[in-house]
């Protein structure tokens, strides 16, 4: 088994065990639990404020845990993040939307990190914080792909450099 897969599998198992035994998680569930007219437990979604049965809600980390671990250091950080009291209850639909947003933010941060390393290697200044915050995921990917083309020294080198300079001048 590859090391990356090993840490991902190990983290998933830790997360599963944590979810079954964690008092903080149970506390978060109990804080939003109510009873309906038939005495059934209902849970209120933190986003849409609707009531749902237990099977239709999920416990979410308000601050995203991040990427799956790929080494021992990232594994330890990921396990530490499981003990966060920064939890909320979301319905399945709201949780999917929030997860999609979280993944987008994580990907964008990774693109910007790669962009700044590449810009430094090419002798350009880093992306400013103001520009980063206004950058959408597709724009970050476009810049990263353009830098990769410039670095490859392939066909259309001059045209790609001009495109990159135009983008960088907007920064």
Indicate the burial class of 22 (C-beta count within 10 angstroms; 0-12, 13-18, 19 or more): middle
Supply the mean pLDDT for the chain. Answer: 77
* DSSP state letter for 33: E
CA atoms within 13 A on the CB side of 134: 6
- The reported pLDDT for the residue numbered 24 is 72
CA atoms within 13 A on the CB side of 116: 12
Question: For the whole prediction, is pTM greater than 0.85?
Answer: no
Which residue is it, tokens 């939003």? 32
Q: What does the pLDDT average to over 93-103?
A: 92
* DSSP state letter for 12: H
pLDDT digits (tens, 9 = 90+) for 42-91: 999 999 999 999 999 998 888 777 666 666 676 677 666 666 567 889 99
Backbone angles phi, psi at 40, to 5 degrees: -80, 145
Asked whether the predicted pLDDT for residue 37 surpasses 70, the reply is yes
Residue 11 to residue 4: CA distance in whole angstroms: 11
DSSP 34-96: EE-TTS-EEEE-TTT--EE-GGGEEEEESS---SPP-SHHHHHHHHHHTT-S-EEEEEHHHHH
């Amino acid at each position: 088994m590859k090391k990356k897969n090993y840490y991902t599998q190990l983290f998933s198992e830790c997360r599963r065990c944590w979810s079954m035994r964690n008092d903080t998680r149970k506390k978060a569930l109990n804080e939003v639990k109510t009873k309906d007219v038939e005495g059934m437990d209902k849970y209120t979604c933190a986003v849409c404020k609707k009531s749902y049965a237990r099977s239709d809600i999920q416990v979410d980390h308000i601050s995203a845990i991040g990427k799956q671990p790929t080494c021992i250091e990232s594994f330890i950080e990921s396990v530490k993040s499981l003990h966060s009291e920064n939890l909320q209850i979301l319905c399945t639909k709201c949780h999917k939307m929030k997860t999609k947003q979280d993944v987008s933010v994580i990907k964008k941060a990774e693109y910007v990190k790669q962009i700044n390393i590449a810009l430094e290697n090419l002798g350009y200044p880093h992306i400013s914080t103001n520009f980063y915050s206004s950058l959408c995921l597709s724009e970050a990917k476009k810049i990263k792909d353009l830098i990769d083309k410039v670095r490859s020294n392939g066909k259309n080198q001059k045209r790609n450099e001009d495109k990159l300079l135009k983008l960088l001048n907007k920064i």
